[in-house]
Amino acid sequence: MRVGVSGEEADEEAVGKLAWSRTIYAAALNAALGLSWSRESPGDDPRRRRTQRRYLTLTAALLGLTVSLDEEISIRIAECLGIAYVLLSDQRNAYQSASTYHGKGAAIVSVLELIPINNTLEYRLLKAGFIADLWGLPKRLDPG
């Protein structure tokens, strides 16, 4: 099953948590609320505990929160996402010191709330993934 990286498909005013909940960030939103996905889920339910853990790890890397990323990389990700590094740094420290899904999810959600929502959101998130070495350089298609 494919899950979106950005909530851009919703209108810009309504993006907030509702739009993020339709993406890989749903794992963090649930974790921040203290909701752990089930260890045993029906076959058609993608919300499994190991999937939540995998999405938390992926989204933390995408947002520059993991210890495996150099601080310079996190600074570049903050610039790419349009947020002040000092704010990202606070959440990076919170994520790294968190020992529970709840703490990790709360740090991720705090960063999501800082990201400016506009028509470049999807590209900025994809570029942040490139900076974090999660995938290749995204290409922009100009149909005009």
Which residue from 94, 43, 39 is spatially nearest to 64, judged by alpha carbons? 94
* 120 close to 12: Cβ distance less than 8 angstroms: no
Which residue from 5, 1, 9 is spatially nearest to 135, judged by alpha carbons? 5
Instruction: Give pLDDT, residue 143.
Output: 62
Instruction: Give pLDDT, residue 24.
Output: 86
Instruction: Give pLDDT, residue 48.
Output: 72
Instruction: Give pLDDT, residue 46.
Output: 63
* 101 close to 56: Cβ distance less than 8 angstroms: yes
* 53 close to 99: Cβ distance less than 8 angstroms: no
Instruction: Give pLDDT, residue 83.
Output: 96
Instruction: Give pLDDT, residue 16.
Output: 61
Instruction: Give pLDDT, residue 17.
Output: 65
Instruction: Give pLDDT, residue 97.
Output: 95
Instruction: Give pLDDT, residue 47.
Output: 66
Read off the pTM: 0.81
Could you identify the residue written with the tokens 């590094």? 85
Backbone angles phi, psi at 48, to 5 degrees: -110, 155
10-residue mean pLDDT series, the chain (144 residues): 51 59 86 81 65 92 93 96 96 95 94 92 93 89 61
Which token pair is 9? 């498909």
DSSP string across 22-80: TBTTHHHHHHHTT-PPBSS--TT---BHHHHHHHHHHHHHHTT-STTS-HHHHHHHHHH
Instruction: Give pLDDT, residue 13.
Output: 42
* Domain residue extents for the chain: 12-131
Which residue from 24, 16, 20, 22 is spatially nearest to 53, judged by alpha carbons? 24
